[in-house]
């Protein structure tokens, strides 16, 4: 039974529901790629499937637009897979548990994947119909955007002739993006040693944080559970001896981590002091974040006496040193005219793991200034060196520079004003968009990015506005009709 079948525009929400039924987390998009390929072939549209899974679908111009320059519509297939702590959803095989309430489409206990599934659905709706006016179309669906723009980087740009690009990977209706930050992934890997140890074992979990997208939401100064865990460990070490047994936090380097946990050993005589110290720290953190993190909770459970491998004191010291000294959040704000209030450089540690003999931290670094991005990465390299850890970069992607001579943007702004009766917001975004990769591959190229309102992207509370999607799809159709 269809859940979204009665929502207009029906073709858009029909395709979105079909996409939600196909598992498509980053690194797991083969099935969705095949679905899109079949979609094109069933409609006798020319389609190209690249080895990595990227899909390019070509559609001839509608009547009267045959001599118009081609337009590229672009979005990405993969979604961020985050779920609530009590969710049993399996992102590898389960359809998303989508639902609708009033104006919002959401998934129960998981991310919805409207970032960027709704882009695919809108583009598919354009391809599916012969009623819409448009120039020749080159519709590009890329893989693995959420883990370093890997699909865009692997794209054969010789297969794209368009020099006018509409990117649909934006999340605020009425906000048109015209530039974006570049970024890279920075990973710290530290070899650790263990020693058998006995003590009272405690399970400690930091939870209830807001989380969110580590680019767009970094300027909200939401708490990072991994960074707070580092503070908690250091706070405990200042009061008593502790031994670290387990340590983990976060799921994606481009999502601000909402939870972190550890198992610790303390001596029997320190158990009461330990619990009191954790409670004291919890109140301190709640006070610090009282304005924007009302649900922070630190759970602490006494599991009784145990004998287990615990980190040697030197390894534990190195880990706490890293957690307490790594940069976090907003590093620098933009000073350029017209860009006031935009983050220039930031860093988010989104994954922390302690696996056997290795401790790992994974970070997403972003900056609209490439030299600042590499300078920040160098700081991480130096910190890693200080404790004898390895540091490596991956997933480097370029920024998208503002084009003051865009021909698409004035048309889009006029159409939006006519539709909504107000001027749109034109801005850069402190997040990696594939526009940066496309810009560097195709320049000179005219690019604009817009989309419907998506709240809570990259979190289990993600929602998609139905009415915003309706208006945005109409805007897309009107724009294509104007690009003659």
Residues in the chain: 484
In this prediction, residue 79 carries a pLDDT of 98
**3-state SS assignment for residue 34:** helix
H or E element: which one contains 100? strand 98-101
pLDDT above 70 (res 337): no
Q: What are the tens digits of pLDDT across the range 86-138? A: 999 999 999 999 999 999 999 999 999 999 999 999 999 999 999 999 999 99
pLDDT of residue 335: 81
Helical residues (DSSP H) of 396-456, grouped into ranges: 408-420, 434-442
For the chain, where do the domains classified as CATH 3.30.70.360 start and end? 185-392
The answer to whether the beta carbons of residues 464 and 104 sit under 8 Å apart is yes
Where, residue-wise, is CATH 3.40.630.10 in the chain?
Answer: 10-181+399-482
With CA atoms as reference, report the closest residue to 185 among 362, 65, 353.
362
Q: Can you tell me the distance from the alpha carbon of 432 to that of 416, in angstroms, rounded to the nearest whole number? A: 25
Residue 145 annotated in active site: yes
* 157 pLDDT tier (thresholds 50, 70, 90): very high
- Angle at the Cα of 156 from the Cα atoms of 478 and 177, rounded to 5 degrees: 40
Q: What gap in Å lies between CA 244 and CA 195, rounded to an integer?
A: 11
- Taking 80 as the threshold, does the pLDDT of residue 432 lie above it? no
User: Class assignment of domain 10-181+399-482?
Assistant: alpha beta
pTM: 0.71
**CA distance linking residue 402 with residue 404, whole number of Å:** 6
Helix, strand, or coil (residue 281): helix
Q: How confident is the model at residue 445 (pLDDT cuts 50, 70, 90)?
A: very high
Give Cα 253 distance to the centre of its chain: 8
Residue 344 per-residue DSSP state? E
Q: What is the pLDDT of residue 334?
A: 86
Given the residues 145, 150, 446, 462, the one annotated as active site: 145
Whole-number percent of the chain with pLDDT over 90: 91
Out of 17, 78, 173, 201, the active site residue is 78
Spatial separation of the C-alpha atoms in residues 177 and 409, rounded to whole Å = 10
177: three-class secondary structure by DSSP: strand
Residues 6+ apart with CB under 8 A from 35: 18, 19, 22
> Strand 98-101's sheet: what is its strand order?
98-101, 104-107, 463-465, 454-455
Q: For residue range 277-323, list pLDDT tens digits in order.
A: 999 999 999 999 999 999 999 999 999 999 999 999 999 999 999 99
Residue 22: both structure tokens together: 């196909």
39: region left, alpha or beta (phi > 0 left; psi from -120 to 50 alpha): alpha
- Which CATH class name applies to 185-392? alpha beta
How far, in Å, CA of 106 to CA of 441, rounded? 35
């Amino acid at each position: 039974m269809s859940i979204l079948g009665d929502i207009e525009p029906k073709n858009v929400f029909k395709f979105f529901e079909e996409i939600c039924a196909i598992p498509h987390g980053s690194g797991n998009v083969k099935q969705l790629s095949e679905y899109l390929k079949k979609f094109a072939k069933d409609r006798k549209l020319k389609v190209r499937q690249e080895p990595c899974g990227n899909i390019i679908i070509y559609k001839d111009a509608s009547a009267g637009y045959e001599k118009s320059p081609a337009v590229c519509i672009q979005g990405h297939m993969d979604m961020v897979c985050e779920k609530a702590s009590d969710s049993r959803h399996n992102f590898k095989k389960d359809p998303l548990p989508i639902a609708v309430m009033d104006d919002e489409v959401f998934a129960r206990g998981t991310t919805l994947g409207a970032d960027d599934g709704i882009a695919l659905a809108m583009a598919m709706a354009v391809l599916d119909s012969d009623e819409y006016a448009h120039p020749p179309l080159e519709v590009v669906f890329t893989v693995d955007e959420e883990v370093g723009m890997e699909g865009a980087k692997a794209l054969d740009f010789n297969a794209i002739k368009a020099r006018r690009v509409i990117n649909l990977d934006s999340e605020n209706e009425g906000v048109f993006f015209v530039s974006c930050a570049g970024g890279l992934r920075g990973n710290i890997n530290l070899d650790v040693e263990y020693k058998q140890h006995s003590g009272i074992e405690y399970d400690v979990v930091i939870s209830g944080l807001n989380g969110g997208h580590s680019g767009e939401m970094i300027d909200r100064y939401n708490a990072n559970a991994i960074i707070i865990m580092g503070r908690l460990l250091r706070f405990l070490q200042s009061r008593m001896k502790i031994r670290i047994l387990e340590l983990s936090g976060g799921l994606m380097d481009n999502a601000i981590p909402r939870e972190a946990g550890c198992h610790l050993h303390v001596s029997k005589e320190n158990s009461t002091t330990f619990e009191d110290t954790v409670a004291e720290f919890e109140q301190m953190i709640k006070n610090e974040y009282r304005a924007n993190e009302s649900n922070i909770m630190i759970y602490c459970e006494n599991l009784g006496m145990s004998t287990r491998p615990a980190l040697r004191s030197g390894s534990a010291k190195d880990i706490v040193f890293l957690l307490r000294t790594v940069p976090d959040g907003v590093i620098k704000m933009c000073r350029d005219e017209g860009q006031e209030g935009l983050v220039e450089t930031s860093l988010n540690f989104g994954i922390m793991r302690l696996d056997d003999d290795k401790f790992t931290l994974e970070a997403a670094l972003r900056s609209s200034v490439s030299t600042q991005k590499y300078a920040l990465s160098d700081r991480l390299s130096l910190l890693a060196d200080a404790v004898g850890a390895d540091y490596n970069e991956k997933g480097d992607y370029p920024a998208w520079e503002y084009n003051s001579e865009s021909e698409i943007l004035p048309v889009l702004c006029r159409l939006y004003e006519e539709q909504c009766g107000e001027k749109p917001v034109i801005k850069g975004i402190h997040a990696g968009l594939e526009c940066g990769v496309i810009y560097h591959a195709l320049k000179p190229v005219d690019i604009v990015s817009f989309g419907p309102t998506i709240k809570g992207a990259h979190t289990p509370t993600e929602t998609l506005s139905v009415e915003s999607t309706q208006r945005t799809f109409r805007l897309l159709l009107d724009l294509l009709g104007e690009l003659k």
